[in-house]
Amino acid sequence: MIKVSVMYANSADVKFDIDYYCQTHMPLVAELLGDALKESAVDYGMAGGAPGEAPAFVAMGHMTYESVGTFQKAFGPHAKQIMADLPNFTDAQPVIQISEIKM
Amino acid sequence: MIKVSVMYANSADVKFDIDYYCQTHMPLVAELLGDALKESAVDYGMAGGAPGEAPAFVAMGHMTYESVGTFQKAFGPHAKQIMADLPNFTDAQPVIQISEIKM
């Protein structure tokens, strides 16, 4: 199983609408990707590791797929539509990472 | 519920022993933190979002707790011992983030 993490970099004046992200964007992704998407998770940044430190990412979305191939096949045809929704909730630049789920 | 993510920054010559991390470090953390730690997950970086791009993080460990207070109370007394184990599997600098689990 693999995880696609979309991590939105934090900054002092970042815009991020967490309600839109959870209630509109993630359901849109789930609807478009269908059965290929096994699980979704959303983390909303609270703090960094040191006292008073801001979180590195304002929010992170994690999506689980069977394999990289399954993800690419499901995501490719909808990539444009999904990416076009980003300005509706954020001006942050997402860092995208594909990981193997070890535990 | 909150998630503590420990994200190890990737670099060209980074050292990261994923077997030690999964088989020795994470079990050590679980043993020391006891019931306060609800769930653990380990992601091992495969790729970035663009073709040929390296992952931003060589590995990420995610740990779920009831609250920030529960985490701090459980982690504080063992922080030194846990951090002292890091050189046994990596020379990467971890980025630590506390997030609220929204989904």
Predicted pLDDT of residue B16:
98
Contact in structure between B67 and B2 (CB atoms under 8 Å)? yes
Option in B46, B48, B49 nearest A100 (CB): B46
* Band (A88; pLDDT cuts 50, 70, 90): very high
Joined together, the tokens standing for residue A63 give 């999506």
Q: Which residues of A17-33 are buried (b: 16+ CB within 10 A; e: fewer)?
A: ebeebbeebbeebeebb
Residues of chain A neighbouring B102 (CB-CB closer than 8 A): 18, 22, 42-44
Q: Classify residue A95 by its DSSP letter.
A: E
Q: What would the 3-class secondary structure string for B22-50 be?
A: HHHHHHHHHHHHHHHCCEEEEEEEEEECC
Predicted pLDDT of residue A50:
87
Answer whether B47 sits within 8 Å of A18, measured CB to CB. Answer: no
Q: Quick one: what percent of chain A has pLDDT higher than 90?
A: 96
ipTM of the complex: 0.94
Answer whether B97 sits within 8 Å of A47, measured CB to CB. Answer: yes
Q: Which of residues 58-97 of A touch B (CB under 8 A)?
A: 59-60, 68, 94-97
Residues of chain A neighbouring B26 (CB-CB closer than 8 A): 103
Predicted pLDDT of residue A93:
87
**B9 in A contact zone (CB under 8 Å):** no
Distance CA B90, CA A60 (A): 24
Option in B40, B46, B95 nearest A56 (CB): B95
How far apart, in Å, are the Cα atoms of B60 and each of A6, A32, A89?
Answer: 13, 27, 26
According to CATH, what is the number of the domain A2-100? Answer: 3.30.70.100
Domain spans of chain B?
Answer: 2-100
Predicted pLDDT of residue B86:
98
Option in A50, A59, A97 nearest B48 (CB): A97
Predicted pLDDT of residue A26:
98
DSSP-assigned beta bridge partners for residue B12: none
Predicted pLDDT of residue B72:
94
Mean pLDDT of A89-102: 96
pLDDT block averages, 10 residues each, chain B of length 103: 98 97 98 97 96 96 97 96 97 96 97
Amino acid at A87: P
Report the mean per-residue pLDDT for chain A: 97
User: Is the pLDDT score of A14 beyond 90?
Assistant: yes
| Beta strand ranges found along B1-103 (DSSP E) | 2-9, 39-48, 57-65, 94-101
